[in-house]
Amino acid sequence: MINESLYSVLRAPKVSEKTARLAESNQYVFEVAKTATKDEVKAAVEHLFNVKVLAVNVANTKGKSKSFRFRAGRRSDKRKAYVRLAEGQTIDVTAKA
């Protein structure tokens, strides 16, 4: 897998109270491309962060229907990947690149 495709698989880390609790148990959450597979996410995280990935779970989130100035609209769908790392390994998602 080449570097351009690695960067296109992982879009951004998700940072919230829930993900902070998950990070205590070596689990991190990333927003990924809609077409990304579990194997692609695993390869991207292992290559970019130099860690050992044990498991990847993927969840699709439907976009909400919203109205703006009396016009109906819809937010885009998203895909999240929950990545579990091997014991003793961490990723610092709050650090700037």
Which CATH number does the domain housing residue 59 bear? 3.30.70.330
Question: Is position 92 within any domain?
Answer: no
How many structural domains does the chain have? 1
Q: Which domain holds residue 19?
A: 3-65+72-85
pTM, rounded to two decimals: 0.86
Asked whether the predicted pLDDT for residue 41 surpasses 90, the reply is yes
Region 5-23: mean pLDDT is: 91
Residue 90 lies in a domain: no
Q: Is the pLDDT of residue 1 over 70?
A: no
| pLDDT > 70? residue 97 | no
Cα-based distances in Å from 50 to 64, 68, 85: 35, 44, 11
Is residue 31 situated within a structural domain? Answer: yes
**97 in any annotated domain:** no
Which whole number is the average pLDDT over 4-14? 88
Average pLDDT (59-73) is 92
Q: Is residue 91 part of a domain?
A: no
